[in-house]
Amino acid sequence: MSTPGQRHRTQDDTVLAAGCVLWRRSPGGGVEVCLVHRPKYDDLSFPKGKLKRGEDPLAAAVREVLEETGHHCAPGRRLPTARYRVEGRPKEVAYWAAEATGGAFEPNDEVDRVLWLAPEAALVRLTQPRDREQLTALLDTLPGMLPDALPES
């Protein structure tokens, strides 16, 4: 029997997680992307976290965005799922594009700062190269709102 806070895993012990590539319209036109800094790992990534047992992945992604960034969001298109290993166990992170709709960041136990960056700056600041796939997929969903040339990943 599981407890409400217990995390969800699949039969093969895959850790299931979800997150969003959070974006907003920048004052000067175009968009900015939100990266979170997690001091425990000293990394810059997208807001994400493990699913609770029985939790819908999209609901978990929206919850994680609010918990880690203080922002509410409007989820949009599904982005590629990240698959990798953590401490020898497989992990799958489902991602969505999500526009920030309001809120304000306050440092918390998991995230001590957020950065709102132009997409080309975010591409080079992401700690894990695998996260570039989700950002590139986001950029493909937002035509007409971005600079014409982005650096190769």
Place 76 in a pLDDT band, splitting at 50, 70 and 90.
very high
Report yes or no on 48 lying in a domain: yes
Report yes or no on 137 lying in a domain: no
Question: Which residues face 43 on adjacent strands?
Answer: 38
Report yes or no on 107 lying in a domain: yes
pLDDT at residue 82 is higher than 90 = yes
pLDDT of residue 1: 32
State the total domains in the chain: 1
Report yes or no on 151 lying in a domain: no
pLDDT of residue 12: 72
Burial class of residue 132, CB neighbours in 10 A (0-12, 13-18, 19+) = middle
Question: Which residues face 139 on adjacent strands?
Answer: none
Report yes or no on 121 lying in a domain: yes
Domain range enclosing 76: 15-131
Domain CATH code at residue 57: 3.90.79.10
Report yes or no on 22 lying in a domain: yes
